[in-house]
Structure 1
């Protein structure tokens, strides 16, 4: 029963991450709307357009992630009710993969893209594309922050499974 409680805590933390993605998307959407009504120059137009597209993607991914966690919760609870030992074995294997692979991929890709975008901003001459590039850099920094929060729940859940 303790394992199921830990799993439910993990799922709740992951759902909170999905909600944080939605909130981040809404904040970027609000920023895009505010930029629309401000004095538009090419840089702010690029920033506005980048924020708008990214906000839609963030909101959709946050909703999808939350729905995925609901489905995972239902499926894994059924496995737990059928066989507790099998549930724990599956979870240890799944969480070990998530813990060891996902953060490295996201961190490496995000840092690489941020550095590439910052370098490109020096060579991009049209101000519109500088604004779009800056909006993507802001998105990637936010993604790193949210993923680091999510990683803590993954790490804690894996540790509780191994104990």
Structure 2
């Protein structure tokens, strides 16, 4: 398979990840709507409010990520058509950076936030805020799962670039 085909497969996988963000956002929005029509306690009010906010963040980031991948596909395809060696070198450098930095940053930040949120939930704060914090915790756990799926396509694409370069 050629380098451009590997790149197109990588972009398709990244777009699928963006769509998963959108689906996760829709699911949280539906959960928030269902909570709105249930018997509201302070905790469920916090969950509902948190779900509404995080669902909007997920929807916006998912749509933005898909648009970004479309732009990346267009610009990198033009680079490939102009100079294949330059394309390959740029992609190897870009993907090595992504492979090295992004998982550590995402994992470290998410784990720190999750631990901080769990500590806040366990201490005696108001039930409304416990609900909000719990919704943010669900959001962060979902992001970790989606980022781990996305990382697989990054790793596979980088391996294909390195194997084609040799």
TM range (shorter): over 0.9
Alignment of 1:137-152 (within 5 A): 137-152=137-152
Corresponding residue of 2:129: 129
| Structure 2 portions without partners, runs of 5+ | none
TM-score by length of 2: 0.97
Q: How many angstroms does 1:124 deviate by?
A: 3.8
Corresponding residue of 2:35: 35
Q: How many angstroms does 1:123 deviate by?
A: 1.5
Q: How many angstroms does 1:157 deviate by?
A: 0.1
CA distance in 2, matches of 1:142, 1:17: 12
Corresponding residue of 2:53: 53
1:100 aligns to 2:103 (yes or no)? no
Corresponding residue of 2:85: 85
CA distance in 2, matches of 1:5, 1:100: 23
CA distance in 1, matches of 2:5, 2:55: 33
Q: How many angstroms does 1:122 deviate by?
A: 1.4
| SS of match in other structure, 1:71 | helix
Aligned residues: 163
1:4-56 C-alpha deviation (Å, 9 max, x unpaired):
00000000000000000000000000000000000000000000000000000
| SS of match in other structure, 2:19 | helix
| SS of match in other structure, 1:125 | coil
8 Å CA contact 1:50–1:135 kept in 2: the answer is: yes
CA distance in 1, matches of 2:121, 2:142: 19
8 Å CA contact 1:124–1:130 kept in 2: the answer is: no
Q: Greater CA deviation, 115-124 or 5-14?
A: 115-124
Structural RMSD (CA): 0.7
Corresponding residue of 1:4: 4
8 Å CA contact 1:54–1:139 kept in 2: the answer is: yes
| Structure 1 portions without partners, runs of 5+ | none
TM-score by length of 1: 0.99
Runs of 4+ in 1 over 4 A off after TM superposition: none
8 Å CA contact 1:28–1:52 kept in 2: the answer is: yes
